[in-house]
Amino acid sequence: MNDVNALLDSVPTGLWLAGGPAAAASGATFDVVNPATGDVLVGVADAGVTDAHLALDQAVEAGAAWAATAPRRRGEILRAAFDAVTARADDFALLMTLEMGKILAESRGEVTYGAEFLRWFSEEAVRVHGRTATAPAGTGRIVVVKQPVGPALAITPWNFPLAMGTRKIGPALAAGCPIIVKPAEDTPLTMLLLAKVFADVGLPPGVLSVIPTTSAADVSAALMSDPRLRKVSFTGSTGVGRALIRQSADQVLRTSMELGGNAPFIVFDDADLDAAVDGAMLAKMRNGGEACTAANRILVQNGIRPAFTEALTARIAAMSVGPGYDAGSDLGPIINAKQVDSVAALVDEAVAGGATVHTGGHRLDRPGYFYAPTLITGAPEDSRIAGDEIFGPVAVISGFDTEAEAIARANDTEYGLASYFYTRDLDRAMRVSAALEYGMVGVNRGVISDPAAPFGGIKSSGLGVEGGSEGIEEYLNTKYIALT
């Protein structure tokens, strides 16, 4: 535990304001818990509305100079932050495993992925372009320029404590916007350590603030009703996203919304069975199933279904469960007791309705918040598990006969974030990709996230994209200048 104590000692536990740690105005703190044990890791400052206003005052004060800072310089600071996070990859990985629970190998993967948004946007900072044209009537010139939207608020979930922050901080800073991050209360430590890294590499005070809080609704409402805030970028559940979209109407804020998913994972008879099983393991069990992109509904064509079910069951049953920091764990704990209850309720209801458990299907009797890796079939079509985001290590397989049926069932949801399918038929690959009503489609792949690609959903899964050359647009306004 020495390493852990030294690491925790190096993480700021105050709010991150004006380039350094600060106590909350109220003096309040709250506990961050290790989900593998239920023990308190450390207490952090609990921001209130007064602290939020202070963060916005500082963002406004620092924002003008940041917007005027040369894009090359902004890019260099982002690049230096990428280097610094990469140099401390082991610390970031362990910290995420401690506060969120995922296994260390996946935390390391998230450090690579999350840091890459800083490098990617360090490169995009110098590639913000406008355009010019002669007016068609020949009466003047049309000049289009891009400008930073201004102070931004980022609200992030607990499932990817680093990457969900860097996906917003990277483009905001590259575009010239100051940003206030409200991390999830379960996992505030990673963002606090990141803020320190940014300060160490020379980010001016006030450009990035981090305000952990147990009063998310009050703090975000206070900021969003202040006309100086110009942007809110949220990643989290669709219910909270809807509430924030409503709130954003009063000040007509720019919004980016990365919301819930209900990803179909379709396996056609002509698929490579082994590749499809590998892909399903990744799409379902990566991050303990706690991902918006997680395969929520595994739809398998009936010809291949028995073999696929048997192979996936064997893989899931062989997973070893334990604290994410123990070598040999394939699956860590679920984030908290409430989430275990939610997963258990979904499975229990499905089983009561006639579903068959092939492996797992129960909590684990040990300290912390563990649920056995599970595979079920035969869940009733109207059961909650067939339509709700599971957000846990539970695979649900059902069969289909035709391509048209698979597409219809895949699209029969209010969500439209990630989707996956496996086939060896190129025509089918093109046809099904076009027909899936999703912002993202993985073809013969179980993981699709890439900082260089636009990540985002349609329908109730959100508005806007993060990453890619498109991601920075979310933090830019378009201005038209009419010239003679």
Q: In the annotation, is 258 catalytic? A: yes
Written as one string, the DSSP assignment of 113-129 is HHHHHHHHHHHHTT---
DSSP structure class, residue 203:
P
Rounded to whole angstroms, the Cα distance separating 120 from 171 reads 9
Rounded to whole angstroms, the Cα distance separating 90 from 418 reads 29
- Other Cβ atoms less than 10 A from the Cβ of 134: the count is 10
Q: Which is nearer to ligand NAD, 256 or 301 (CB)?
A: 256
Are 82 and 118 in contact by the 8 Å Cβ rule? The answer is yes
Q: What is the binding site for ligand NAD (CB under 6 A)?
A: 155-159, 164, 182, 184-185, 216-217, 220, 235-237, 240, 243, 258-261, 292, 389, 417, 457, 462
- Nearest distance from C-beta of residue 102 to ligand NAD, angstroms: 13
Q: Is 137 buried (19+), middle (13-18) or exposed (0-12) by CB count in 10 A?
A: exposed
Q: Which is nearer to ligand NAD, 160 or 308 (CB)?
A: 160
Alpha helices in 136-237 (DSSP H): 163-175, 189-200, 216-224
Q: How far is CA 345 from CA 322, 333, 371, 373, in A?
A: 22, 17, 12, 15
Q: Which is nearer to ligand NAD, 97 or 156 (CB)?
A: 156
- Other Cβ atoms less than 10 A from the Cβ of 98: the count is 27
Lookup: tokens for 436: 């899936």
DSSP structure class, residue 72:
H
Residue whose Cβ sits closest to ligand NAD: 236
DSSP structure class, residue 204:
P
Residue 443's beta-bridge partner residues? 421
Q: Which is nearer to ligand NAD, 19 or 462 (CB)?
A: 462
- Among candidate residues 326, 329, 324, 364, the one with its CA nearest the CA of residue 344: 364
Rounded to whole angstroms, the Cα distance separating 54 from 213 reads 14
Query: Helix (H) and strand (E) counts for the chain?
Result: 14, 20
Q: Which is nearer to ligand NAD, 155 or 448 (CB)?
A: 155
For residues 362, 365, 367, 370, the Cα torsion angle rounded to the nearest 10 degrees is -20
45 Cβ contact list (under 8 Å, min separation 6) = 13, 14, 15, 21, 22, 23, 24, 28, 29, 212
Phi, psi of 342 (to 5 degrees): -65, -45
Q: Which is nearer to ligand NAD, 238 or 301 (CB)?
A: 238
Q: Give me the catalytic one of 106, 292, 389, 473.
A: 292
Rounded to whole angstroms, the Cα distance separating 113 from 87 reads 14
Q: Which is nearer to ligand NAD, 157 or 471 (CB)?
A: 157
Lookup: tokens for 259: 């919301």
Q: Which is nearer to ligand NAD, 185 or 474 (CB)?
A: 185
- Nearest distance from C-beta of residue 292 to ligand NAD, angstroms: 3
Rounded to whole angstroms, the Cα distance separating 234 from 461 reads 12
Q: Give me the catalytic one of 106, 116, 258, 473.
A: 258
Q: Which is nearer to ligand NAD, 75 or 171 (CB)?
A: 171
Specify whether the backbone of 420 is left (phi greater than 0), alpha (psi in -120 to 50) or beta.
Answer: beta
- Nearest distance from C-beta of residue 184 to ligand NAD, angstroms: 4
- Nearest distance from C-beta of residue 69 to ligand NAD, angstroms: 29
Are 265 and 289 in contact by the 8 Å Cβ rule? The answer is no
Residue 471: helix, strand or coil by DSSP?
helix
Q: In the annotation, is 177 catalytic? A: no
- Point out the residues that are catalytic: 258, 292
